[in-house]
């Protein structure tokens, strides 16, 4: 072990001494020395092990980056050999260049096989909804056997996201639009064990780096000479990551390095403002102005007008990313282009709303945000989504998201609370965050009424309503489903009451009309629902307690609850407040003998309470399950699990009735 650690230090030390542009080379003997200690006994359960993962980045004054990466992977099982039979490297030719410099196989028997370039293919990437012309290098590896290893050396330049289309000059297209700057986010853990991972970056001396390590520790070293600054980071003996259901994003769970040469967020904000203003992204023509006036005609308040424009853009600009020349990535396509084509990705949909807001006289700007993960305070591009900000006061903004709000009464989805964002303004803004949505905003309510006869049959009606994101979820299920599929969904809900239960009919309010609340009414019957003994005693579970709303959007928490403990936080679509009420008319003369007793639970992340009683000849049930947070830290998992277990216990309980 000491020998391996000494050898593995050498790449870092050499990286600090070598001039920019050099790559690290090893002879076969040195490489095989690394491989000898990687065995199935040393890594039980692993199909493959990343023996080395070395990245060396040279950054020019312009911000153009040259990235040299070498990975050495040893396969230990047949499954690992199959996994690495084909290798893939993605790139976007509009903004980056990629090349497989060297590819070889180290056979377990001692032979070394160099893979010819003829086995490396340049192909279009599979694409869905976004068609920007990305490509991939695909390498076909000769059949591997357990004990073999693959070494891949690649070179790339440019940047991952296509901010702008091709420009003049050989390397000009690869210079990031925020000229002179560089950023990166590096995760030091992966699905395979890693013996050692290193990341070295060499920058011009006048470009100091802002960097921070999150969720763990890594080794680090810095040096300088008359021309450059060199920073190296490394981590060794890293076990394979553990995956958990509904866990937070990898960047919020695993050890990561965030780095950038940008001074602060206001500088980033001003750049985002200028790059879009210079591109004329928010200019409007007579057609846009006429449509804006038509949409807002007769509306009295600013809130009503902006909501009407939001609803139009959200529905009329379909999500389809077609490359249309200059303007991909963070540069928004001109509003006139998007208006004419009625298509774009989130940035273009947001740009359309900014354009129409401005045409209506509102001061509006685009904003960068990260849906699904946290943005750290280092001003790197940690974004995947674009939204809209309207200035409603001195340094005060109201946020709108047309991509997430089609057929919704929300202007900013509760699925994005909390969420970080940076608005692009001429003044320059700091990193901000939306407040958490209280569970009461996202309530789900079922009011159930019905009758239970002496034969144990139930006939009933359930009225389902929701607030904010929950209402949007209910609405989407109807708007985006064929009529037959909608009925099938409701039938599945009713079948959760009992396999004998049958949906008699259903109705909904108009799902397209977002000016009024939405509701679903289900009428059902369930013959033989209650078990009736010879003496007439009934054993029954209140139908509302069956928790019929099993849905990947509404009840995503259910997939997160299982194990006794968790190592990582839980990422849910939204906080929730489930409220179930039922009044079930009983046959004449029946009284309550026994009802399930479930102790209430009230924790930091969730709570549950429920009860059943007979009042006025009706079996009355009330149940409330509250999920207080959208993002639940691992240390609060017990609160969620305890509440969910109580919910299930109540659903499994039996109420006894007798004359």
State how far the Cα of 330 lies from the Cα of 158, in Å rounded to an integer: 15
Q: How far is CA 524 from CA 339, 473, 481, 531, 624, in A?
A: 46, 22, 21, 18, 23
- pLDDT tens digits, one per residue of 465-510: 999 999 999 999 999 988 889 999 999 999 999 999 999 999 999 9
Task: With cut-offs at 50, 70 and 90, classify the pLDDT of residue 132.
Answer: confident
According to the model, what pLDDT value does residue 326 have? 47
Quick one: 360 and 238 in the same domain?
no
Average pLDDT, the chain: 91
E strand or H helix that includes residue 222: strand 219-224
**245, pLDDT greater than 80:** yes
**412, pLDDT greater than 80:** yes
Q: For 84-105, what is the mean pLDDT?
A: 91
- Do residues 605 and 640 touch, judged by C-beta distance below 8 A? yes
Residue bearing tokens 């009330």: 622
- pLDDT tens digits, one per residue of 557-603: 999 998 999 999 999 999 999 999 999 999 999 999 999 989 999 99
β-pairing, 96-106 vs 112-114, is antiparallel
- Among residues 164, 186, 275, the alpha carbon closest in space to that of 235 is found at 186
> Three-state secondary structure along 86-143?
EEEEEECCCCEEEEEEEEEEECCCCCEEECCHHHEEEEECCCCCEECCCEEEEEECCC
According to the model, what pLDDT value does residue 165 have? 32
- Do residues 542 and 655 touch, judged by C-beta distance below 8 A? yes
According to the model, what pLDDT value does residue 25 have? 56
Low-confidence winner among 22-31, 522-531, 621-630 (lowest mean pLDDT): 22-31
390-397 contacts, C-beta under 8 A, 24 or more apart: 390/306, 390/357, 390/362, 390/363, 390/364, 391/362, 391/363, 391/364, 391/365, 397/423
According to the model, what pLDDT value does residue 395 have? 86
Q: What angle do CA 474, 387, 578 make, to 5 degrees?
A: 25
Residues 6+ apart with CB under 8 A from 648: none
Quick one: 418 and 468 in the same domain?
no
- pLDDT tens digits, one per residue of 208-224: 999 999 999 999 999 99
CATH of the domain at 239: 2.60.40.3140
Q: What is the torsional sign of CA 249, 253, 255, 259?
A: positive
- 26 vs 445: which has the higher pLDDT: 445
Residues 6+ apart with CB under 8 A from 405: 310, 311, 314, 411, 412, 413, 472
**11, pLDDT greater than 50:** no
According to the model, what pLDDT value does residue 328 have? 52
Q: Among the three residues 237, 261, 285, which one is the final residue of a domain in this structure?
A: 261
Classified as helix, coil or strand, 249 is: coil
Q: What is the torsional sign of CA 223, 225, 230, 232?
A: negative
According to the model, what pLDDT value does residue 21 have? 40
Q: For residue 501, with 0-12 CB atoms within 10 Å meaning exposed, 13-18 middle and 19 or more buried, which class applies? A: buried
**27, pLDDT greater than 60:** yes
CATH of the domain at 483: 2.60.120.1130
Quick one: 272 and 257 in the same domain?
no
Domain total for the chain? 3
According to the model, what pLDDT value does residue 573 have? 95
Q: For 278-282, what is the mean pLDDT?
A: 91
DSSP H helices in 381-504: 468-479, 483-495
**329, pLDDT greater than 80:** no
Quick one: 552 and 598 in the same domain?
yes
Q: Among the three residues 417, 433, 449, which one is the final residue of a domain in this structure?
A: 433
- 186 vs 30: which has the higher pLDDT: 186
- Do residues 346 and 129 touch, judged by C-beta distance below 8 A? no
State how far the Cα of 280 lies from the Cα of 336, in Å rounded to an integer: 10
Quick one: 409 and 453 in the same domain?
no
Quick one: 237 and 273 in the same domain?
no
Quick one: 223 and 349 in the same domain?
no
Q: For 199-209, what is the mean pLDDT?
A: 95
Quick one: 20 and 53 in the same domain?
yes
According to the model, what pLDDT value does residue 4 have? 38
- Among residues 405, 279, 413, the alpha carbon closest in space to that of 353 is found at 405
List the structure tokens of 462: 């359930």
DSSP 8-state code for residue 376: P
Quick one: 394 and 524 in the same domain?
no
- 295 vs 344: which has the higher pLDDT: 295
- pLDDT tens digits, one per residue of 336-368: 999 999 998 999 999 999 999 999 999 999 999
- Among residues 267, 261, 260, the alpha carbon closest in space to that of 425 is found at 267
List the structure tokens of 331: 């540069």
Q: For 642-655, what is the mean pLDDT?
A: 96
**6, pLDDT greater than 60:** no
**22, pLDDT greater than 50:** no
Q: What is the torsional sign of CA 508, 511, 516, 518?
A: positive
Task: State the helix-helix crossing angle for 302-316 and 346-359, rounded to 10 degrees.
Answer: 140
Quick one: 634 and 601 in the same domain?
yes
**3, pLDDT greater than 70:** no
Q: For 407-422, what is the mean pLDDT?
A: 96
Task: With cut-offs at 50, 70 and 90, classify the pLDDT of residue 92.
Answer: confident
State how far the Cα of 68 lies from the Cα of 316, in Å rounded to an integer: 44
Percent of the chain at pLDDT above 70? Answer: 93
Q: What is the DSSP string of 591-634?
A: EEEE------EE-SSEEEEEEEEEETTEEEEEEEEEE--SEE-G
Quick one: 193 and 167 in the same domain?
yes
Query: What is the residue range of 111's domain?
Result: 2-261
Q: How far is CA 495 from CA 448, 483, 489, 559, in A?
A: 15, 18, 10, 20
**26, pLDDT greater than 70:** no
Neighbours of 122 (CB within 10 A): 14
Q: Among the three residues 392, 416, 433, which one is the final residue of a domain in this structure?
A: 433
CATH of the domain at 354: 3.10.620.30
Task: With cut-offs at 50, 70 and 90, classify the pLDDT of residue 170.
Answer: low
- 30 vs 323: which has the higher pLDDT: 30
DSSP H helices in 172-300: 265-278, 286-296
Q: For 307-311, what is the mean pLDDT?
A: 97
Q: For 299-327, what is the mean pLDDT?
A: 86
Quick one: 244 and 288 in the same domain?
no
> Three-state secondary structure along 280-331?
CCCCCCHHHHHHHHHHHCCCCCHHHHHHHHHHHHHHHCEECEECCCCCCCCC
Q: What angle do CA 493, 498, 503 make, to 5 degrees?
A: 50
According to the model, what pLDDT value does residue 167 have? 37
Classified as helix, coil or strand, 215 is: coil
């Amino acid at each position: 072990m000491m020998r391996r650690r000494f050898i593995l230090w050498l790449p870092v030390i050499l990286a600090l001494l070598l001039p920019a542009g050099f790559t690290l080379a090893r002879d076969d003997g040195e490489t095989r020395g690394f491989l000898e200690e990687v065995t199935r006994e040393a890594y039980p359960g692993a199909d493959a092990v990343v023996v080395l993962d070395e990245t060396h980045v040279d950054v020019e004054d312009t911000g153009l980056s040259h990235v040299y990466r070498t990975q050495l992977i040893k396969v230990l099982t047949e499954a690992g050999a199959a996994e690495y039979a084909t290798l893939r490297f993605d790139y976007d030719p509009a903004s980056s260049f990629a090349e497989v410099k060297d590819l070889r196989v180290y056979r377990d028997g001692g032979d070394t096989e160099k893979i010819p370039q003829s086995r490396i293919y340049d192909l279009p990437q599979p694409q869905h909804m976004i068609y920007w012309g990305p490509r991939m290098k695909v390498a076909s590896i000769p059949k591997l056997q357990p004990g073999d290893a693959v070494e891949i050396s690649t070179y790339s330049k440019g940047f991952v996201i296509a901010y702008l289309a091709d420009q003049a000059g050989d390397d000009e297209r690869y210079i990031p639009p925020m000229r002179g700057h560089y950023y990166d986010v590096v995760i030091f853990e992966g699905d395979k064990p890693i013996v050692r991972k290193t990341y070295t970056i060499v920058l011009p001396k006048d470009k100091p780096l802002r960097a921070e390590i999150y969720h763990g520790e890594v080794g680090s070293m810095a040096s300088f000479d008359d021309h450059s600054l060199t920073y190296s980071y490394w981590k060794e003996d890293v076990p394979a990551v553990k995956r958990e259901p509904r866990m937070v994003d990898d960047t919020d769970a695993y050890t990561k390095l965030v780095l950038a040469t940008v001074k602060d967020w206001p500088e980033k904000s001003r750049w985002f403002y200028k790059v879009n203003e210079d591109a004329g992204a928010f200019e409007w023509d007579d057609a846009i102005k006429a449509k804006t006036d038509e949409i807002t005609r007769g509306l009295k308040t600013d809130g009503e007008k902006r909501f009407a424009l939001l609803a139009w853009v959200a529905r009329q600009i379909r999500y389809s990313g077609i490359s249309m020349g200059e303007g991909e990535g963070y540069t928004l396509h001109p509003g006139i282009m998007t208006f004419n084509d009625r298509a774009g990705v989130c940035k273009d949909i947001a740009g359309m709303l900014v354009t129409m807001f401005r045409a209506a006289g509102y001061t509006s700007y685009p904003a960068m945000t990260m849906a699904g993960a946290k943005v750290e305070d280092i001003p790197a591009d940690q974004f995947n989504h674009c939204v809209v900000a309207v200035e409603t006061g001195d340094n005060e903004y109201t946020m709108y998201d047309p991509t997430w709000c089609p057929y919704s009464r929300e202007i900013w989805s509760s699925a994005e609370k909390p969420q970080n964002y940076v608005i692009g303004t001429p003044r320059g803004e700091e990193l901000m965050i939306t407040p958490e949505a209280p569970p009461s905003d996202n309530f789900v309510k079922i009011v159930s009424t019905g009758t239970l006869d002496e034969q144990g049959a139930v006939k009933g009606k359930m009225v389902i309503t929701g607030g904010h994101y929950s209402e949007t979820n209910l609405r989407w299920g109807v708007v985006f489903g064929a009529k037959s599929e909608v009925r099938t969904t409701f039938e599945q809900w009713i079948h959760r009451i009992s396999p004998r239960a049958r949906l008699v009919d259903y109705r909904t309010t108009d799902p397209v009309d977002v000016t009024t609340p939405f509701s679903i009414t289900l009428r059902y019957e369930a013959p033989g629902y209650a078990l009736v003994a010879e003496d007439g005693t009934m054993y029954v579970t209140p139908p509302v307690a069956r928790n019929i709303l099993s849905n990947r959007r509404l009840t995503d928490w259910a997939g997160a609850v299982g194990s006794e403990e968790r190592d990582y936080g839980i990422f849910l679509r939204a906080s929730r407040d489930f409220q179930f009420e039922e009044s079930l008319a009983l046959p004449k003369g029946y009284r309550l003998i026994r009802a399930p007793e479930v102790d209430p639970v009230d924790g930091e992340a969730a709570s549950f309470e429920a009860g059943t009683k007979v009042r006025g000849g009706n079996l009355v049930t009330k149940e409330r399950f509250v999920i207080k947070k959208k993002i639940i830290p691992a240390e609060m998992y017990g609160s969620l699990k305890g509440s969910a277990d109580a919910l299930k216990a109540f659903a499994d309980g039996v109420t006894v009735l007798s004359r």
